[in-house]
Chain A
Amino acid sequence: MDDYMSLLLLSKGLLFEIALVIFIFGVLLRLFEIFSLGRKKDLSEPKANPTIIGIKTIFTRSIPSYEMMTKRGFLIVNGIIFHVGLFIVVFLLAPHITVIDRLIDLSWSPLSSQIINFATVVTIFSMIVILVHRFTHPVMKALTTSGDYVAWIVTFLPIISGYMAYNHLLLPYNLILALHILSVDLLLIVLPFSKLSHSFTFFMARYYSGTISGRKGVQL
């Protein structure tokens, strides 16, 4: 059998299956690990409804403050571009929607490939920018651990390989598609156990944070 084709079949077959199993398993495990630690019921008289403000904070925290825009606007804008770009690329590309449809029987209308292609370029660019920023910004440099690089790499690989696959660059399509799917497999496996876990815990973090200040009638 053709090596590339068998790699493609392996990547979207057995390996994807394994990756998905680890992903689901990992996410659930992490959620259990977090929720199992519990939270004491707050007995103090709330000034406002903490739950409502908690839920609101999940969304409002996406809006940067003026102060932070003046201080770290570059990082914030780049971060927003990256996350929006990533969202577009991951969830609005037709083949991806097909995969999701196949997995959970849910689909929506995709964006045009030219837009996706553009978004991909922008996302790749923003990722390179963030990496350079990580090397140069003193605070980020000090905070950065190997885990941050792992997170960056496993995010970058699917994007760059996906871009190459779409544009038929350098490698035969089967091979690059296989590599793309392999990198996604890797991402799925690494995600729950790495810094990328923020993709599902940030809802909780924002919610908790929102309830803590919300109880005091403050929406930050």
Chain B
Amino acid sequence: MKTITNDKQFKATIDELSSLQNRKLATLFLQNVMGLTDKKKYQQLLTLASNKNATEQEYANLQTAIQTMVVETNARCGTDTDWAAQAEHFVAKSALSCVKDANRSNQNSAYDSAMYARMACNFASIADGKSDEQAETQAQYQILIQFLGDK
């Protein structure tokens, strides 16, 4: 079994994966930060991810909805920042990585998803002082190892 202890390894390992694997993995990373948001918002995505016969069209449809969520949770210039809401914003961004067109090249969607998930944690930590990006990073390494094992 592979061991992953730093981001370099983490990224290199993800780079080896196919785009479909990327998407699956991305969803796992997203699931791990679901606690920072209203889980119901992503029910559709999670259902879709568990459906092996899901089509690109279905993903594309979902992408529009999630894109809207991302834009809607943007912090606007000059407004008082709600850090918890901003954590949700990055969860949405992480989710967006999961639904990107798998056929489009040059994508590292799992890695992006992981990074946004970490940012979400980071914002949550600013908001509540409890969440821990470091812990999230470690958790992501474990998710990846697990994923590779399941493969």
Q: Assess A/B contact in the complex (Cβ within 8 A).
A: no
- Where the two chains meet, the residues of B that have a C-beta atom closer than 8 Å to any C-beta of A are none
